[in-house]
Copies of this chain bind each other. A is one copy, B any other.
Amino acid sequence: MFNHGGGLHLNIQKEFGLRIQQLRKATGKSQEKFALSIDMDRTYLASIEAGKRNPALQNIKKIADGLEISLSDLFRDL
């Protein structure tokens, strides 16, 4: 998904959300269980996975730690 010019990178939110969902599903955990495990509100996690949020570094780090992967791996191919 090519982003035309310097506009808001909405596609990075979508791509990041899909990536999180893919990795979270691979752990076999539901949104609810994974959100609980990283002390994050389930609806917030759901909106991140749906590409509707612009999560900050601290929450990105929390998600990576919960998935037990490095931040670098979390962003592989994004």
A residues sitting closer than 8 Å to B (CB atoms) are 6, 8-9, 12-13, 16, 39, 54-58, 60-62, 70-78
Number of copies: 2
The listed residue with most B CB atoms (<10 A of its CB), out of A61, A70, A77, is A61
Cα–Cα distance between A57 and B13 once the two chains are bound (Å)? 7
Least distance between A48 CB and chain B CB atoms (Å): 9
Least distance between A78 CB and chain B CB atoms (Å): 5
Q: Please tell me if the beta carbons of B58 and A6 are within 8 angstroms of each other in the complex.
A: no
Given contacts A8-B58, A12-B57, A54-B56, 10 further A-B contacts (CB under 8 A): A6-B39, A13-B57, A54-B57, A54-B58, A55-B56, A55-B57, A56-B57, A71-B78, A74-B75, A75-B75
